[in-house]
Amino acid sequence: MNFLVIDQGTSSTKAFLFNKNGRTLFKDKIKHQLQRPKALHVESDPKLILNAIKTLVRRMVQLSNNTTILQAGLAVQRSTFLFWEKETCKPVTPAISWQDSRSYSIVEEKKRLKQKLWEKTGTPLSPHFGGPKFLYLLRQNKTLAKRIKNGELYFGPLSAYLTHAITGNPYIDESIACRSLFYNIKKGTWSNFALDVFEVPLHALPQLTTVQYHYGSLFHTKIPLSIVIGDQQAALIGYAGLKKGTAGANFGTSGSIQYNVGHMPVKAKGLISSVLFSNKEKYYMVEGTINACNAIFYYLEGHLGIPHSEMKWDKRVLTSSTKGILVPGFIGLAAPYWTRGFHNIYIDLNNNPNQIIRAGMESIGFLANDILNCYKRVSGKNLNTLMVAGGASKSPLLQFISDVTSIEICKLSLKDRTAMGVYKLLKGNVETDLRNVIETKFTPKQNINIKKKKWREALKQVI
């Protein structure tokens, strides 16, 4: 008996076939690109993503060689939203990426309500999330507004559209519903207050359900879809299970640092409070996100005229040092500041590309430190060790994070941790012995308090 997992991310969709012992029998990937049609607009084609999933599922079924696929699970990027037709499941807008901040005017309009919204939903008022996207798009498109009023369309995260298209059933799981700005984190229902703020009729939303649920079957097969979950939640479960008090970081296109707070939601200034996992019981986490991890190096490729094949940022930063600071504003700052996009701030940087790249890398470390300082207020104690994985988890970055935070950073050898988290939930065994998956440890080597002060001074320009 095997298990099928789809990991749908910002830049690619991956498929995995696991056996009952957790060994990866097969895996495959289809890449896709984001479109940036104008300033602050970041989109993808939901039909292309759906077709990629169809193709990958078909390949995994063929490769299973008639061996029974017992269950399937789906992990999805979170704060990407769209409108689609209820009857046909046809998208009527692009998938508006989590990086998109065109709806900042709505955030400004509603800012007097931001504290109450945060208290209700656990999520900050930001153009990255669903509520501002919904209201902005309706105001820009009268046809869209009319069709919503007539009950013809759904609005929801990419995961809900994919679930509907894959199974024929319109569901939205709780872990990703938290990114809508409509979900009441304490009651586990849609928030009437938030729906009123963003003028969302209840009939425009898919049915809310738990992470583990019988969503339906994949593309008219007999394979049940049993898990739909946010990719970062799955990553934390992949290497830390569901144990309260565990923390982990994932650095990819964006970054996420999460802390499992157990069975009750916790309010944390500057951080998002979300459902980590739910079935008959719920687990919660607080999370700090960094918009630009690998994304900053992709941006600098274009900004500095460096071909992608020649970037190799982890090699460049080893041969350069800088006293300068770069605050990346091209897609705004997420936790704990939650700003709109702004012009990058360059302080004491010359035109040396490698020094700019070094300062870009260090910005990730400074933001990670700012997030971890928020965790201290949640847990009441200092974090001694942080488990880290992800494609941007290169040695120079992890050493800098250890230096700036003064804690031990452990890079995990566990590959495909998001897919592994989904597999563990499908199998029903989420316990992990992290001692067996630590690849490298990084401990503090230098004091950089002067540079931290310089970072805080630079932030004053935008917060």
What is the count of structural domains for the chain?
1
Instruction: Indicate whether 112 belongs to any domain.
Output: yes
Greatest extent of the chain over all pairs of C-alpha atoms, in Å:
62
Mean pLDDT, rounded, for 34-39: 90
Distance CA 134, CA 136 (A): 6
Instruction: Indicate whether 408 belongs to any domain.
Output: no
Instruction: Indicate whether 69 belongs to any domain.
Output: yes
Report pLDDT for 433.
66
Distance CA 286, CA 305 (A): 38
How large a percentage of the chain has pLDDT more than 90? 81
Instruction: Indicate whether 328 belongs to any domain.
Output: no
With contact defined as beta carbons under 8 Å apart, do 6 and 13 qualify?
yes
- pLDDT tens-digit series, residues 213-240: 999 999 989 999 999 999 999 999 988 8
Mean pLDDT, rounded, for 11-19: 94
How large a percentage of the chain has pLDDT more than 70? 99
Instruction: Indicate whether 276 belongs to any domain.
Output: no
- Judged on CB neighbours under 10 Å (0-12, 13-18, 19+), 325 is buried
Report pLDDT for 384.
87
With contact defined as beta carbons under 8 Å apart, do 252 and 294 qualify?
yes
- The yes-or-no verdict on residue 382 having pLDDT over 80 is no
Range of the domain at 94: 2-230
Mean pLDDT, rounded, for 85-97: 97
- pLDDT tens-digit series, residues 111-169: 999 999 999 999 999 999 999 999 999 999 999 999 999 999 999 999 999 999 999 99
Instruction: Indicate whether 118 belongs to any domain.
Output: yes
Report pLDDT for 325.
97
Instruction: Indicate whether 85 belongs to any domain.
Output: yes
329 three-class SS: coil
- pLDDT tens-digit series, residues 413-460: 877 889 999 999 999 888 766 666 788 999 999 999 999 999 999 999
With contact defined as beta carbons under 8 Å apart, do 397 and 361 qualify?
yes
- pLDDT tens-digit series, residues 60-80: 999 988 789 999 999 999 999
Report pLDDT for 143.
97
User: Using the 8-state DSSP alphabet, how is residue 180 labeled?
Assistant: G
Closest CA to 383 of 346, 355, 408, 351: 408
Average pLDDT of the chain? Answer: 94
Distance CA 185, CA 267 (A): 10
- pLDDT tens-digit series, residues 16-26: 999 998 899 99
Distance CA 378, CA 409 (A): 20
- pLDDT tens-digit series, residues 336-356: 999 988 999 999 998 899 999
- pLDDT tens-digit series, residues 177-208: 999 999 999 999 999 999 999 999 999 999 99
**CATH assignment at residue 18:** 3.30.420.40
- The yes-or-no verdict on residue 241 having pLDDT over 90 is no
If you write DSSP's letter for every residue of 13-31 in order, what string do you get?
EEEEEEETTS-EEEEEEEE
Instruction: Indicate whether 257 belongs to any domain.
Output: no
- pLDDT tens-digit series, residues 254-279: 999 999 999 999 988 899 999 999 99
